Amino acid sequence: MIRSPIRTIALCVASALFVLALTSGQFAMGRNQAGERAMTVQYLEIVTPMVEETCDVLAGAHGVEFGDPIPEFGNARTASLSSGGRIGVRAPLRADEEPVVRPYVLVDDIEAAVEAAKAVGAEIAIPPMEIPGQGRFAIYLLGGIDHGLWER
């Protein structure tokens, strides 16, 4: 499959803007301005065939440092976010995996969150699964968008 350079650039720009929102506190932990519990992005996953280039752009723009590949995260190179979460950049794991930016939202009860997604018609791509020492995650598809859930 031939990838459009415009699509690749758009994916990198979208990734950088999302990281900017994360690092600016827009998705910070705790309470929002109304005193309600705020949504927290625990892990932001970027799947791209241009791993090194994407890490370089994000590191240069945001002053973060990406570590070595982590096998439990699909060999993603990760960096810490000021919110306490992480961002990971990895290559596709199979030939038909498309580039994607997938936020994993922190939930208290991943089983209940998966059931809520199913109730509105989401397709569960990956049911709750443990990453030893990291927590549990799940992926669902809804409206053409990949959504991630994370439970610590």
CATH architecture for residues 107-152:
Roll (3.10)
pLDDT in the model for residue 21: 44
- Write down the pTM of the prediction: 0.77
Computed over every residue of the chain, the mean pLDDT equals 85
CB atoms within 10 A of CB 83: 21
Show the low-confidence residues of the chain (pLDDT under 70): 1-37
Question: What are the domain boundaries of the chain?
Answer: 1-101, 107-152
